[in-house]
Structure 1
Amino acid sequence: MKSFLSLGIGKSSAILEAPKPASGILPHQEEESLAYLWVELTKSEAGCCKILSEVRNYGEAVKDTQEAEEKLLKDLGASGLAAVSPQMQQATDEYLSVVMEMKAKSEETSSVVQQVMGDPVKQYHALYEPLDALRRRRDAQLVVVQKCQDKLDRLKLKGKRTTDVIVERDSAQRQLKEINGQLLTEAKKFHSMRQPLLQPCIQAYIQTLVDYYGTANSLFSNFIQTSRGAHQIKDAEYEATMGDHLRKIKSLKIVAT
């Protein structure tokens, strides 16, 4: 069974297939360590799935926001309001300049977020495939040991010679223990590598968001200050004018319905 990422982003029903229990065959401490480690691996994989889902959603949100801004400007132009109001025309032009400046930043942010978070998580998951192959080898060898033990038990019940079967079982158990030890070592290594890999990715992700929102805040703040200064509207007058417009909008039947 493949893991979360190979089955698709966000499918919480999928889980990493855990190694088969080998109670009474392998040392209890090793069994317990492997079981606990696999629970942690499962949690980490689930977390990575959520990260991939959020990265995808965030990229789409940035794109949708940009498209919504452009549509708003298009609707303002089609409304004809700018034709009867020089102030509206000037504000629309200034707003357009800000939105167009943000377009490149929006596209860059969507791309960079995928590069610094989405792609590394997917690439890291490729390391899980050899680990899962080792887990399958271990489970297959466990079946061999169990069959040998079953055969030995049947021979004992019948009072027949068991020497050859005991040798076969002991050999199979040694192979199982060797594979199980290798799986435990590789699983620990796989799990421990995740944080060092993701740490710089998360830092780059946060820096990208800071850059995006910092640019947006700077551009829109400058737009508001320039617009108010150009029109020489005081804060109190501006708020009163906007309040009047909002009251008129709310009184429209289309808003009421």
Structure 2
Amino acid sequence: MKSFLSLGIGKSTPTIEPPKPASGILPHQEEESLANLWVDITKAEAGCCKLSTEIKNYRNALKDVQDSEEKLIRDLSNSGLAVYSPQLHQALDEYLSVTLEMKPKTEETSGAVQLVLGDPIKQYHSLYEPLDSFRRRRDAQLIALQKSQDKLDRLKLKGKRTTDVLVERDAAQRQLKDINKQLLTESKKFHSLRQPFLQPCIQAYVQTQVDYYGTANSHFTSQVQASRGVHQIKDAEYESIIGDHLKKIKSLNIVAM
């Protein structure tokens, strides 16, 4: 069985095979604890898989926003409207200036998001493979034990000698119990380490967002303030002009659609 890491990031429902049930063979408390723990692991792996997809979507969104702003400036510049409006021409120059200033930050943020959260999630996923190897060993041993038990039952029905098979069955059962305890221990360790491993990654991710949007807000605010200073427009007058422009934009058919 492959973990969802080997199936590729981006799947919203990872295939994680649970340990085979061994009711009546293994201690009930261990059996129940392992089953419940595996449910939690499956849910957590599915959540991380979705998070990996969202990281990819977010990085694409950053690039799309940057590309869209650059395209908007090109389209407005190529429309010829700026030739007839010095104010529009200056606004485009100012908008272009801010957009170009933000491009390195956009690329930096995209790379940082992958570095602080995308890559660590993939690295943690890889730790599931050794755990799944324990699970496969445990399931294989369970099958071997069941075969020994079936052989023992057949010999008993036929009234034949069962000593050798009984020794074989008991040895298989002891080995299964040992492997099951190892799997339970490793499963608990794997699941308990996820939160302390990912928490600083998520904190770093949030910091990249604060830095990115803080930088964008600072650039645009500074540019607006500089532009208003050049034109010597008072706050009330500036708000009135912007309000009028927004009303005209909202009244356009293309906006209504």
- 2:22 is matched by which residue type in structure 1? A
CA distance in 2, matches of 1:147, 1:33: 25
Please give the per-residue CA displacement for 1:103-153, whole angstroms capped at 9, x wherever unaligned: 000000000100110111111111111111111011000000001111111
Q: Superposed, which structure 2 residues align to 1:1-257 within 5 Å?
A: 1-249=1-249, 252=252
Please give the per-residue CA displacement for 1:209-239, whole angstroms capped at 9, x wherever unaligned: 1100000011111111111221222344334
Q: Tell me if the contact between 2:5 and 2:126 (Cα under 8 Å) persists in the aligned partners.
A: no
State the 1:201 CA deviation: 0.8
Structure 1 segments, 4+ long, off by >4 Å, are 246-257
Match of 1:152, SS state, is helix
- 2:124 is matched by which residue type in structure 1? Y
- 2:146 is matched by which residue type in structure 1? Q
TM-score by length of 1: 0.93
185-194 or 237-246, which deviates more: 237-246
Q: Tell me if the contact between 2:14 and 2:46 (Cα under 8 Å) persists in the aligned partners.
A: no
TM-score by length of 2: 0.93
Q: Tell me if the contact between 2:13 and 2:46 (Cα under 8 Å) persists in the aligned partners.
A: no
State the 1:169 CA deviation: 0.2
State the 1:200 CA deviation: 1.4
Match of 1:48, SS state, is helix
Q: CA 1:16 to 1:243, structure 2 compared with 1: closer, same or farther past 3 Å?
A: same
- 1:73 is matched by which residue type in structure 2? I
Root-mean-square deviation (CA, aligned residues, Å) is 1.7
Please give the per-residue CA displacement for 1:52-74, whole angstroms capped at 9, x wherever unaligned: 11111111111111111111111
Q: Which runs of 5+ in 1 are unaligned?
A: none
State the 1:248 CA deviation: 4.3
Q: Tell me if the contact between 2:22 and 2:31 (Cα under 8 Å) persists in the aligned partners.
A: yes
Q: Tell me if the contact between 1:87 and 1:231 (Cα under 8 Å) persists in the aligned partners.
A: no
Q: CA 1:91 to 1:135, structure 2 compared with 1: closer, same or farther past 3 Å?
A: same
Aligned length, in residue pairs: 257
Q: Tell me if the contact between 1:113 and 1:205 (Cα under 8 Å) persists in the aligned partners.
A: yes
Percentage of pairs with the same residue: 74
CA distance in 2, matches of 1:254, 1:115: 40
- 1:162 is matched by which residue type in structure 2? T
CA distance in 1, matches of 2:201, 2:185: 26
State the 1:247 CA deviation: 4.6
153-162 or 51-60, which deviates more: 153-162
State the 1:29 CA deviation: 0.9
